[in-house]
Amino acid sequence: MEFQLPEELQMLQQTLRRYVDAEMIPHERETLVDGDLKPEWRAHFQEGMKKLGLWMMDVPEEFGGSGLSLLAKTVVWQELGRTVALPAREDGIAGPTVRHILFQLEGEMREKYLMPALRGERRACFAQTEPDAGSDPASMRTTAVRDGDHYIINGVKRFITGAGKADFMQLMAATDRAKGAHGGISCFIVDMDTPGVKLTAQYETMMGDKPWEIVLDNVRVPASHLVGGEGKGFGLAQKWISAGRVKHGARALGVAERSLELSVSYAQQRVTFGKALAERQGIQWQIADMWMNLDAATLLVRRAASMIDEGQEARVEGFHAKYFADEMAFNAIDRCMQIHGGIGLTTDLPIERMWRQQRSYRITEGASEVMRSVIARHVMKAYS
């Protein structure tokens, strides 16, 4: 493994940094409405991503994607992580948000769901979490029962991002509750206008995201809408799951880097008791810790990305990168807020929004405790 990014990725990083500094950071207070990107800013950033050659960067090459390596993508996510001009989730600036499950579709289903999603004509949401099943999705209660050439689906999904604007959902449901994670969970494509699908509540969150609750009441779905076969729901995601964790880790690097930029700048200007904060050992040590932890997290993220690029599974490395980087970045933005004193709490600076966003990543898409449990199982096996 190389400890330095290859030259072309260093150049990509510099170009993107200039773009974020010029086009995003100065407009951080203008780009969002109700936690979502304003259409004019989405169009502006999409144009920028196209010019930078990053359009469709998360789409496999065979479907028109850019073919960037995961390591290259970590550079992009890291640089975009430096700004709060983008919403915490689902910004869609590098192309429509398409979950990898959809790339499994074939024939008519591919034409009806994947291709329009890639063209930005139809939107999808992903519905797995339930009121009683978040970190432990295998215990989900939503069931899909075969009835001739259909499945009948009943249950409640909670915290579903983008459900209000979605045309269809990628729904996880139990086809055999007794089997749970071991072949009992299946994935279905369900049109949002299918009779029995109801959006029953929308949650306000501290990050501005507004996920939905969906009730499924005797929803009849054609058997052809089952993706990848019965019981294959969790298996479908496996191939991309480690890459998803690396993405989280990479974005967190950007948060920590911005925390350092803001902290150092403020500590050098702010004078208390006759000296700049930057001259105080108590502040210097905090900044040193922030930098060392960022450095360590950068190596973890790049190691996991390089391993996946080489075709390795990197499961534990992916968990390690996400856990360490997400916790490290929250710590960094929290210290940054503390160093800024009262002004750090105001909406005049980007710190409070970055703090709220980063706080949320320690819970969603793999809570920190769950990451640690998986790592602990690995360590105990390795040392027993």
Ligand X SMILES: Cc1cc2nc3c(=O)[nH]c(=O)nc-3n(C[C@H](O)[C@H](O)[C@H](O)COP(=O)(O)OP(=O)(O)OC[C@H]3O[C@@H](n4cnc5c(N)ncnc54)[C@H](O)[C@@H]3O)c2cc1C
Closer to ligand X by Cβ: residue 103 or 159: 159
The CA distance from 315 to 308, in Å, is 9
- For residue 41 the two structure tokens come to 């800013």
Closest CA to 250 of 294, 285, 218: 294
Among positions 74, 78, 83, 129, the unique one binding ligand X when judged by CB under 6 A? 129
Among positions 61, 204, 295, 365, the unique one binding ligand X when judged by CB under 6 A? 365
Under 8 Å CB-to-CB from 62, ≥6 apart: which residues? none
Choose the binding region for ligand X from 17-25, 115-123, 153-161, 293-301 (rule: CB under 6 A): 153-161
Q: Is 365 a catalytic residue?
A: yes
The CA distance from 4 to 13, in Å, is 12
Among positions 72, 101, 124, 160, the unique one binding ligand X when judged by CB under 6 A? 160
Among positions 45, 103, 159, 234, the unique one binding ligand X when judged by CB under 6 A? 159
Burial 254-269 (b: 16+ CB within 10 A, else e): bbbbbbbebbbebbee
Under 8 Å CB-to-CB from 245, ≥6 apart: which residues? 304, 318, 319, 321, 322, 366
Q: Per the residue annotation, which of 30, 61, 121, 365 is the catalytic one?
A: 365
Q: Is 370 among the residues that bind ligand X (CB under 6 A)?
A: yes
Choose the binding region for ligand X from 91-99, 155-163, 250-258, 339-347 (rule: CB under 6 A): 155-163
For residues 27-86, which are near ligand X according to CB under 6 A?
none
Among positions 121, 373, 376, 377, the unique one binding ligand X when judged by CB under 6 A? 373
Closer to ligand X by Cβ: residue 163 or 250: 163
The CA distance from 328 to 255, in Å, is 9
Q: What are phi and psi of 227, to 5 degrees?
A: -100, 125
The CA distance from 65 to 47, in Å, is 16
Closer to ligand X by Cβ: residue 95 or 208: 208
Binding mask 108-127 for ligand X (x = CB under 6 A): ------------------xx
Cβ proximity of 221 and 151 under 8 Å: yes
Among positions 46, 78, 97, 161, the unique one binding ligand X when judged by CB under 6 A? 161
- For residue 279 the two structure tokens come to 């001259």
Q: Is 344 among the residues that bind ligand X (CB under 6 A)?
A: no
- Upper half-sphere CA count for residue 29 (Cβ side, 13 Å): 8
For residues 272-301, which are near ligand X according to CB under 6 A?
none
Closest CA to 247 of 286, 170, 304, 165: 304
Q: How far is the CB of 159 from ligand X (least distance, A)?
A: 4
For residues 209-268, which are near ligand X according to CB under 6 A?
209, 211
Closer to ligand X by Cβ: residue 127 or 354: 127
Q: Is 134 among the residues that bind ligand X (CB under 6 A)?
A: yes
Tell me the number of residues near ligand X by CB under 6 A. Answer: 19
Burial 96-112 (b: 16+ CB within 10 A, else e): bbbbbbbbbbeeebeeb
Q: How far is the CB of 132 from ligand X (least distance, A)?
A: 8
Task: Name the residues annotated as catalytic.
Answer: 365
Q: Which residues bind ligand X (CB under 6 A)?
A: 126-129, 134-135, 159-161, 205, 209, 211, 363-365, 367, 369-370, 373
